[in-house]
């Protein structure tokens, strides 16, 4: 089925919004935006002919004209249900930084958190060296689209040797119907510094498009734990790309929870320098007609890197999950140690998962493994629970819950863990604990 990918409506609307975008007076940013616009003009949204997108049809983005908005209306009680108490927080409403909702009081001087707009309005020399450097517009046309359209975002920098006492939560919230929330976020963790950042994607509008690009820089020996909890509204479209540059001895721990949206795509890419470590975990839950795509790419560029990847998926009804995990071990990346695993549980005959682990190894002294499973619940386990008095439907829920909860269990932040746990229980209601 050929679907016309016509970006015309977005391109036609662009001139009207361009002048209001931040950084209009910065030639280097204008170049990045123009370049992004050109790429998007040439390719439209990625389509099925693109190998990296062969399982994910973005035609829906052309069917609805998603539009940027300044609207900041929000139900704060609803928002607060997702807010972590023991964290600093940044709130982006419809893709725009909200200083009234963000809670940054008492942030130590070693940690700088500002809106992308403010960062671009100030002395942006440092930002120029970062923005567009962890990922370029060539990555794919959604990144290019983001470069042209992003209206705000957050810029975070942690000073060398500083360890953040509390995590920073970034709440990406969409409240306005058919809004386009395009943000670009830059995170810099300086040498030997450590930080924990939690991204939540939520929405109260019925339909919208949330498109966020994160560029993360881990300097030598830095550590970043990054959680992503995508719990978008049922009919939302979501794109979130996180692109990481890991300097030597740095450590990235990423957890990706993809629960919401009708169409969701997450990209995680990390480039590993000497002896750096990267661990990426993921859990995608799809039901009804959800389509959830997860794309990871780990580039071992230099020797002695370690990567661990563990993704699980649970697909019910007519949902479709995609896992494409690429590990590339460059010629110089000797003694790389890499493991990748993707396990899927299909709960219905109509559910589908496309899983594609890819190992590309150009070095000769490496230890790499990958494994994939797609299966159903084990009947002997269902019977075991039944034989203990649990009815069949609850038995299936308990087992599914247990399968998924293994990933939630890996979350070290207790507040976030509780929030995710609640989400899981709502999906697989079993007898309460």
In the complex, which residues of this chain contact other proteins (CB under 8 A)?
Answer: 378-381, 383-392, 394-395, 398-399, 401-403, 405-406, 409, 430-431, 433
Question: Which residue matches tokens 């963000």?
Answer: 102
CB closer to other proteins, 196 vs 316: 316
Sheet bearing 352-361, strands edge to edge: 111-115, 154-158, 179-189, 208-218, 237-246, 263-272, 291-300, 320-329, 352-361
Query: In the bound complex, what is the minimum distance in angstroms from residue 421's beta carbon to other proteins?
Result: 12
- Residue in the structure block whose two tokens are 């016309």: 4
Rounded to a whole number of angstroms, the minimum distance from the CB of residue 239 to other proteins is 31
Give 2 or 431: the residue with its C-beta nearer to other proteins.
Answer: 431
Q: How is residue 264 written in tokens?
A: 């969701």
In the complex, minimum distance from the CB of residue 427 to other proteins, in angstroms, rounded to a whole number: 15
Yes or no: say if 50 and 140 are a contact pair by the CB < 8 Å rule: yes
Nearest CB to other proteins, comparing residues 16 and 393: 393
Sort strands 96-103 and 88-93 into parallel, antiparallel or unpaired: antiparallel
In this structure, what token pair is assigned to residue 182?
A: 């395009």
Of 138 and 406, which has the nearer Cβ to other proteins? 406
Rounded least distance, CB 408 to other proteins, Å: 10
**Would you say 334 or 394 has its CB closer to other proteins?**
394
Q: How far is the CB of 341 from other proteins (least distance, A)?
A: 14
When the beta carbons of 112 and 394 are compared against other proteins, the nearer one is: 394
Quick one: tokens of 163? 């360890």
What is the three-class DSSP state of 1?
A: coil
- In degrees and rounded to multiples of 5, residue 383 shows phi and psi of -65, -40
Cβ 347 to other proteins, closest distance in Å? 16
Round to whole Å and give the CA distance between 248 and 155. 23
CA distance 127 to 408: 34
């Amino acid at each position: 089925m050929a679907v016309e990918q016509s970006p015309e409506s977005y391109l036609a609307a662009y001139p009207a919004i361009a002048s209001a975008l931040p950084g209009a007076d910065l030639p280097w940013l204008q170049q990045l935006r123009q370049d992004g616009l050109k790429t998007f003009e040439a390719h439209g949204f990625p389509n099925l002919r693109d190998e990296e997108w062969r399982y994910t049809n973005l035609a829906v983005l052309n069917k609805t004209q998603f539009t940027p908005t300044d609207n900041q209306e929000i139900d704060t009680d609803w928002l607060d249900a997702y807010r972590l108490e023991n964290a600093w927080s940044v709130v982006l409403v419809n893709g725009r930084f909200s200083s009234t909702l963000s809670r940054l009081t008492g942030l130590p001087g070693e940690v700088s958190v500002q809106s992308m707009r403010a960062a671009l309005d100030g002395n942006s020399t440092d930002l120029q060296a970062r923005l567009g450097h962890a990922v370029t517009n060539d990555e794919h046309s959604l990144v290019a689209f983001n470069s042209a359209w992003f209206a705000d975002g957050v810029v975070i920098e942690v000073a060398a040797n500083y360890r953040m006492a509390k995590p920073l939560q970034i709440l990406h919230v969409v409240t306005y119907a058919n809004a386009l929330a395009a943000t670009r976020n830059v995170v810099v963790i300086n040498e030997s510094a450590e930080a924990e950042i939690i991204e939540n994607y939520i929405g109260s509008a019925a339909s919208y498009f949330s498109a966020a690009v994160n560029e993360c820089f881990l300097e030598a020996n830095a550590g970043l734990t990054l959680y992503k909890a995508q719990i978008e509204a049922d009919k939302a479209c979501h794109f979130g790309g996180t692109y990481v540059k890991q300097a030597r001895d740095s450590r990235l721990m990423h957890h990706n929870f993809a629960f919401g949206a009708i169409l969701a795509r997450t990209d995680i890419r990390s480039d590993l320098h000497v002896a750096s470590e990267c661990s990426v975990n993921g859990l995608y839950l799809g039901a009804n007609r959800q389509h959830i795509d997860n794309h990871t790419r780990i580039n071992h560029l230099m020797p002695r890197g370690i990567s661990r990847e563990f993704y699980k998926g649970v697909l019910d009804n007519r949902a479709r999950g995609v896992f494409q995990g690429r590990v590339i071990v460059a010629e110089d990346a000797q003694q790389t140690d890499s493991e990748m695993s993707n396990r899927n549980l299909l709960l219905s005959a109509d559910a589908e998962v496309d899983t594609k682990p890819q190992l590309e190894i150009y070095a000769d002294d490496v230890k790499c493994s990958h494994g994939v499973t797609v299966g159903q619940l084990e009947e002997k386990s269902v019977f075991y629970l039944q034989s203990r008095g649990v009815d069949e439907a609850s038995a299936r829920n308990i087992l599914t819950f247990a399968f998924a909860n293994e990933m939630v269990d890996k979350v070290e932040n207790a507040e976030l863990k509780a929030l995710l746990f609640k989400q899981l229980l709502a999906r697989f209601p079993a007898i309460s604990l």
